[in-house]
A and B are shown apart, each in its own frame.
Chain A
Amino acid sequence: MANLNINKNRNMIPNWRSFGKSVILGELDSCNKNNAPRIVTSIDEYIIDWKVNGTLVHASELLSAAIVNNLRNDINVIEAAKFILNNSKNANYSHISTAKMILSGISSIDIKSDDITRIEILNDQIDNDIANIKRKITDTKLLLRKYPTNPILYTELSRYYSIIGNEKKAIEAMKIALHFSKDNRFILRCATRLFTHYGNPTNDYIDYIHKILVNSIATQYDPWLTSAEISLSGLKGVSSKNVKKGIELATSKNIMPAHISELSSALATIELSHGNRKKSRSFFENALISPNDNTLAQVEWAMQKDKSLIREKIDFSQKYNYEAESLKYFNEQKYELSVFYSARWFIDMPYSIRSLLFGSYISSNFLKDQKKSIILLQAGLKGHQNDPKLINNLAYALSLDGKPNEALIELNKIKYNSILDSETKACVIATEGLANYRLGNEDDGRAMYLKALEITKSINNETLNRLALLNLAREEIRINSKYISNIIDTVKKIPEFLSEPEVVLLKKEVLDQFEVNINKTRK
């Protein structure tokens, strides 16, 4: 049984991207609407000096003054840059690189495209990405030897480690980054995501980062951080002391709309969870004035619960909004596109496997395209080798694809002690049951499904319980089992909630198949 409950609550935990991407997305811009105190300095004397002397030294001095004053387009500056390139034999590294920068008009930020055009090439892309990440780890560690107090480098290092699934080192690096900078938006947002990502009942990560956020002075005035704190409180199931402050910031006229989008979404989510639909809508509308990808994904998630929550047309032109697109296409039942965007979502945020679990779930359950599902899951396992959820879903897809032996080999890789949640345990047991059914070991298969049903019942997870039952029913129908009538009676009692589309779909398929089998028997 594939492991994913798509209706699980979604909190506005910040997304975590590289420093360069975060800059490009404008997430690190200053919030207030005031203009920077502009100091106007003339470069005229440097121009005169350059014109009179016409040397490399005077040319570079003019370029210095020009870039410091953002006067790169001045004709004299362009001339000086050309002069440097024409005399490159006598020029040094800085001369040449600065002259080129002036003439090309390109800044030093270089974000390489890491997107894909089709899912079939995902694994090659991930192989490349992982090789790059390993190189980046080595480079960053070398840089850190020189600049051991640079928190941005530690944050980047932490991200690299999380991408290859090295939790311990990722946490270690982030703790050092926080040691050097406890009030910086970029670092706190990244840390919030990391500690939430690895947080579980056996560690104190979520409390750790929550405490830092609560104590940071920046949480009091930076809406991005207020949002993170409020969302983290929501995740912990406690009320945030910053809600009032958050409302103040979200309605402030001095902050640009892009900076309060996440905060408004976080507040909307709280209101939604309290059943205050009107207030929730109002905050979501505020969030949608200038949304980022996280807000769009949150809105799409909320729309799964309440399709009429947002009435206005949503602008999807934001960069890197892959999660939102994936959810949107899923809501619109455009499953192929939804899966494609889940792959792009993973490439954008490869430390998290939620994208792949979502994509493979759609692929396996709605598209019935097990091969695509297998590609997605194998891509995830390259960086997150031992993740039980990925392995379980892969084994599920392999079994349905007629490869139960391979499924069992995969399942044997799971260290049962490493599975911390009962949901995943139930799924793994059910998937092993499926593989056994497909190998002809019906008794073992059945026993495992019954065990999974027992676990899902004991933890009150009705969705998983229904899915376990439906998977069991499908297998019993396949082998024309003598128990099938009783099982079908129970299947028929499953309520059809729109919020559980996978249950609705599988129930229909099971009952249809049952009918087909009965008709065959009659004939």
Chain B
Amino acid sequence: MDNAANKLEGITLKSGWLVKKKIEKYDNQTGSIFSVCYKAEKNGVTCFLKAFDFSKFFMLHAGKSAMEVLNEMSSAYLYEEKLSNFCKNKHVKKVAFVIEAGQEIVNGYAINIVPYLIFELADGDVRKKLTISKNLDYAWRLKSLHDVAIGLNQLHKINVMHQDLKPSNILVFSDECKIGDLGRSLCNDIDSPLRNISFSGDFNHAPPEILYNYYDPDLNKRAYAADCYLLGSLIVFYFSGFSMNALLIKHIEDCFSWPKWTGSFTELEPYLEHAFSKALKEFEHNIDNIEIKKGTLELVEYLCNPIPAKRGHPKSIASIGSNYSLERFVSMLATLQKKAEVMVTHG
């Protein structure tokens, strides 16, 4: 579509960034349909520019007034920038931050204002890496997951709940992986436009309690539980190519699936757990190495339990504090990563 956000190529922005080649949709763009992405360069450093596309916003929010749409979009833009700075100032690592934010006027369009955010440029998202390296060793996968767990844990420590952890949001850099896209995150210290909805991330990956419309009214509990599930689901994806939701719905009887079930969540729990057992069994089939299998299975079992009250590390559940603390999972992933590295070293 002909609009301002699509016409930035070759322009030097007021902020001094030279907008270079448009990045065609192949990386890190699921969930980014409101934006157009470019490479941008300043002082010899190439970065990633995300230009917000107002026209898409209008298209997707048919029925809303122009002011409402503009307001929503500006809130989203400002929130992402603010949250990114908040995390950066709290010294969070393993998260891709906004390097710069600004807006550009491009004349000749009905909506001529293009707000943009500039991020570090990644090699791609994890799907690309998993594709290129079909025989990717366990050590790399576990190192990547360890990075993600560290990042997520750090976010949790400053009361930020990512909510949109999924393969397309895991960015691969030369020697590490980082979590991208804080746009759907919730933060206790910054007023978020997304606080009043049940789940702000991609519903394809949403935890079962959200899909069944049963969730804790306490936003924090709900959101931390969701992040836990999303981290587990990511582990499932790294080894099977599927989300945990996909494996769950594959094994749950049709009458209990979220599009069909109209009963209570309590009634459903045994059926969900039964399907979960079968999903875990399928997950196991995708990993050859016994030690890695055992470790990852344990992680997924704890992180992805479909019953929010049973989710989390058993020791965290049994002790005072949040069930959804990620500390133990970070350690477990570190241990597994080491084991996998030893395996690589010893052939």
Residues on A close to B: CB < 8 A?
A: 19-20, 23, 26, 28-32, 34-39, 41, 43, 45-46, 48-49, 52-53, 55-58, 60-61, 63-65, 67-70, 90, 92-95, 97-98, 101, 107-109, 143, 146-147, 149-153, 180-181, 183-187, 218, 222
Report, nearest first, the 7 A-B pairs whose CB atoms are least far apart.
Answer: A30-B263, A60-B241, A64-B246, A93-B285, A55-B131, A41-B203, A94-B240
Chain B residues with CB under 8 A of A181: 269-270
Chain B residues with CB under 8 A of A34: 262
Cα-based distance from A181 to B278 in the complex (angstroms)? 19
Cα-based distance from A109 to B278 in the complex (angstroms)? 11
B101 at the A interface (CB under 8 A)? no
- Residue in B245, B263, B281 whose beta carbon sits within 8 Å of that of A64 in the complex: B245
CB distance B267 to A30 under 8 Å? yes
B interface, over-half SS: helix
Find residues 260-302 in chain B having any chain A CB closer than 8 Å to their own CB. Answer: 260-263, 266-267, 269-271, 273-274, 277-278, 280-283, 285-286
A83 to chain B, nearest CB (A): 12
* Contacts A93-B282, A184-B267; A45 near B246 (Cβ below 8 A): no
CB distance B131 to A41 under 8 Å? no
The interface size bin for chain B is 35 or more
Q: Can you list 25 residue pairs at the A/B interface with Cβ under 8 Å?
A: A23-B255, A28-B253, A29-B255, A43-B204, A45-B30, A46-B30, A46-B204, A55-B127, A57-B131, A58-B131, A60-B240, A63-B246, A64-B204, A68-B204, A69-B204, A94-B286, A95-B241, A143-B281, A146-B280, A149-B273, A151-B273, A152-B271, A180-B270, A181-B269, A183-B266
Chain A residues with CB under 8 A of B278: 108
B256 at the A interface (CB under 8 A)? yes
B80 to chain A, nearest CB (A): 19
The proximity string for B residues 109-148 relative to A, scoring 1 for CB distances below 8 Å and 0 otherwise, is 0000000000000000001101100100000000000000
A62 to chain B, nearest CB (A): 10
CB distance B267 to A185 under 8 Å? yes
* Contacts A29-B255, A64-B245, A95-B241; A19 near B33 (Cβ below 8 A): no
Cα-based distance from A143 to B286 in the complex (angstroms)? 18
* Contacts A28-B255, A65-B204, A94-B241; A150 near B277 (Cβ below 8 A): yes
CB distance B240 to A38 under 8 Å? no
* Contacts A31-B263, A56-B131; A98 near B246 (Cβ below 8 A): yes
A367 to chain B, nearest CB (A): 41
Cα-based distance from A45 to B29 in the complex (angstroms)? 8
Residue of A nearest to B266 (CB): A183
CB distance A28 to B134 under 8 Å? no
CB distance A39 to B203 under 8 Å? yes
Cα-based distance from A406 to B250 in the complex (angstroms)? 54
B151 at the A interface (CB under 8 A)? no
B258 at the A interface (CB under 8 A)? yes
CB distance B250 to A53 under 8 Å? no
CB distance B33 to A45 under 8 Å? yes
Residue of A nearest to B126 (CB): A57
Chain B residues with CB under 8 A of A49: 25-26, 29-30, 127, 168
